């Protein structure tokens, strides 16, 4: 009897659309991380540490430009798709305009790269790598993740994402064997991603009945204006978290970039922990905030203490196992990379400090404060990291990244106290 009831409740839990969305998003993110970790030793062995650093540097530039290509649609478009699920005509116009907008933005970003490389002779050490990497911009533009998110049908896109990453991994094994082939690494990632995305678009058209119309420029312009705040918030957050490698490139040689990027990749994977916690607790926290503030604060305090505990364990584990991690990923002894990883190991714990503040800002719908905090953090990170990197190289950059986590915690705390004192008192007292 009880076994049947447990099976029924588990079945209902699994069939819940929101739970399915979360699980499939987790699958996509975890598969990306796993393929990234597996590819690191293969790339280092195939193209060398210095070229590995340049490939990652080019990828950092592309990911930054992908914020422009996304332009907040990854946050706003799923809601619009969900609202128009049953209206195929409205859905067709929406999908056509979003894809058209993102392709236009990808073309603009590609033009910026080509102008920088061939017009102003920028990015001298990795010009061809960056030019070939520009295909990733169109892979991002055609990625229909936001569409399937809004339709609450994430299974197909998660499987497709895993398949494209496996093709990329196979391409590394088969074709990348020398430093001269480094320009093809990001190109292959973009090529396989674009091919899979175009297949998904064909599925959307032929099997889901969504038509593709010519772009409506007035509607595109309107959506761009509505998404400006989201775009700048995403841009500031991305620069603050992932901009360190670009700053280091102005002051260091390719080999140092490779050493640092190896350690940074490991830390950025571990830093996903607080972000995933925020995504997981936000829905329940929002409900409790509206219905029962006492239970909300109790829930938040319990979660926060556990997050800090596990964040400390993650950071301590990364510090103690740094030599082993670097040796496994690079298949060699890289003392400089071990030093960077040991220094940056505290970052996941420091990021956990701000979990409470971010959730408070989100549940209270204080988007303007979140936007302000993001840009204050970004400005501090650029200034502090640039100065520290100039004087102390990669170690200085590591300290700049750590101090940024501390500063953004203080910024969010002060902004919350200035505008919502009751939230600060309720949570921290």
**Highest mean pLDDT (candidates 2-6, 24-28, 333-337, 423-427):** 423-427
DSSP assignment of 239-285 equals HHHHTHHHHHHTTS-HHHHHHHHHHHHHHHHHTHHHHHHHHHHHHHH
Q: Which long-range contacts (CB under 8 A, 24 or more apart) does 410-414 make?
A: 411/373, 411/376, 411/377, 412/354, 412/357, 412/358, 412/361, 412/369, 412/373, 413/357
Euclidean distance between CA atoms 122 and 196, whole angstroms: 32
**278 compared with 427, residue with greater pLDDT:** 427
Token duo for residue 222: 């309107």
pLDDT at res. 119: 92
State the pLDDT confidence band at 102, using cuts at 50, 70 and 90: very high
Per-residue model confidence (pLDDT) at position 283? 60
Residue 1 pLDDT: 44
pLDDT exceeds 90 at position 191 = yes
Please, what is the Cα angle at 72 between 69 and 78, to 5 degrees? 110
State mean pLDDT over 3-9: 46
pTM: 0.71
Please state, in angstroms and as integers, the Cα–Cα distance from residue 54 to each residue in 129, 259, 272, following that order.
Answer: 8, 11, 24
pLDDT of residue 25: 64
Query: What does the pLDDT average to over 190-197?
Result: 95
Crossing angle (nearest 10°) for helices 335-344 and 322-330: 130
**The pLDDT of residue 22 is above 60:** no
Phi, psi (rounded to 5 degrees) for 333: -90, 110
**Using CB atoms within 10 A of its CB, is residue 163 exposed (0-12), middle (13-18) or buried (19+)?**
middle
Would the pLDDT of 385 be above 90?
yes
Six-digit token pair at 355? 């979990």
Position 359 pLDDT exceeds 70: yes
CA nearest 256: which of 32, 50, 8, 1? 50
Mean pLDDT computed over 406-413 = 95
pLDDT tens digits, one per residue of 211-232: 998 888 888 898 888 888 778 8
pLDDT at position 171 is: 93
pLDDT at 243: 79
Tell which residue, 371, 379, 377, has the closest CA to residue 411: 377
Mean pLDDT of 376-383: 93
| pLDDT for 10 beyond 60 | no
Banded pLDDT at 404 (limits 50, 70, 90): very high
**Could you tell me what percent of the chain has a pLDDT over 70?**
92
Specify the pLDDT at position 13: 46
Chain-wide mean pLDDT for the chain? 86
**Mean local confidence (pLDDT), 380-408:** 94
pLDDT digits (tens, 9 = 90+) for 149-177: 778 677 888 889 889 999 999 999 999 98
Residue whose tokens read 């302000």 = 372
Residue 9 has pLDDT above 60, yes or no: no
> Taking the domains of the chain in order of start, what are their residue ranges?
16-226, 263-428
Residue with tokens 């530039």: 61
> Which pLDDT does position 6 carry in this prediction?
47
CA atoms of 55 and 130, how far apart (whole Å): 8
């Amino acid at each position: 009897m009880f076994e049947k009831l447990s099976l029924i409740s588990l079945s209902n839990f699994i069939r819940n659309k929101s739970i399915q969305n979360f699980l499939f998003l987790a699958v996509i993110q975890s598969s990306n991380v796993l393929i990234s970790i597996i590819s690191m030793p293969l790339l280092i062995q195939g193209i060398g540490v210095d070229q590995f650093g340049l490939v990652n540097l080019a990828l950092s530039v592309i990911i930054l430009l992908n914020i422009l290509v996304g332009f907040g649609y990854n946050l706003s478009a799923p809601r619009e798709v969900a609202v128009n699920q049953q209206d195929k005509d409205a859905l067709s116009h929406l999908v056509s305009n979003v894809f058209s907008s993102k392709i236009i933005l990808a073309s603009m970003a590609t033009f910026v790269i080509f102008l920088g490389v061939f017009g102003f002779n920028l990015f001298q050490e990795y010009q061809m790598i960056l030019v070939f990497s520009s295909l990733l911009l169109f892979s991002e533009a055609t990625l229909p993740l936001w569409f399937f998110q809004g339709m609450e049908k994430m299974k197909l896109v998660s499987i497709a994402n895993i398949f494209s990453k496996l093709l990329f991994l196979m391409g590394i094994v088969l074709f990348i064997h020398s430093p001269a082939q480094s320009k093809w690494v990001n190109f292959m990632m973009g090529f396989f991603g674009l091919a899979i995305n175009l297949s998904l678009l064909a599925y959307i058209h032929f099997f889901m009945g969504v038509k593709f119309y010519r772009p409506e420029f007035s509607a595109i312009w309107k959506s761009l204006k509505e998404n400006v705040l989201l775009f700048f918030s995403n841009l500031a957050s991305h620069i603050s978290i992932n901009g360190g490698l670009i700053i280091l490139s102005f002051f260091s040689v390719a080999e140092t970039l490779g050493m640092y990027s190896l350690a940074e990749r490991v830390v950025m994977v571990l830093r996903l922990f607080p972000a995933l916690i925020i995504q997981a607790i936000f829905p329940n926290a929002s409900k409790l905030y509206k219905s029962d503030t006492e239970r909300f604060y109790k829930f938040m305090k319990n979660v926060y203490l556990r997050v800090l505990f596990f964040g400390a364990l993650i950071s301590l584990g990364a510090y103690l196992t740094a030599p082993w991690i670097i040796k496994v990923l690079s298949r060699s002894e890289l003392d400089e990379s071990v030093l960077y990883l040991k220094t940056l190991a505290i970052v996941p714990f420091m990021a956990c400090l701000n979990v409470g503040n971010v959730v408070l800002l989100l549940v209270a719908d204080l988007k303007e404060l979140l936007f302000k905090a993001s840009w204050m953090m970004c400005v501090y990170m650029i200034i502090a990291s640039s100065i520290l990197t100039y004087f102390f190289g990669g170690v200085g950059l590591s300290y700049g990244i750590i101090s940024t986590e501390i500063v953004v915690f203080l910024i969010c705390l002060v902004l919350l106290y200035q505008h919502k004192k009751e939230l600060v008192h309720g949570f921290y007292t």
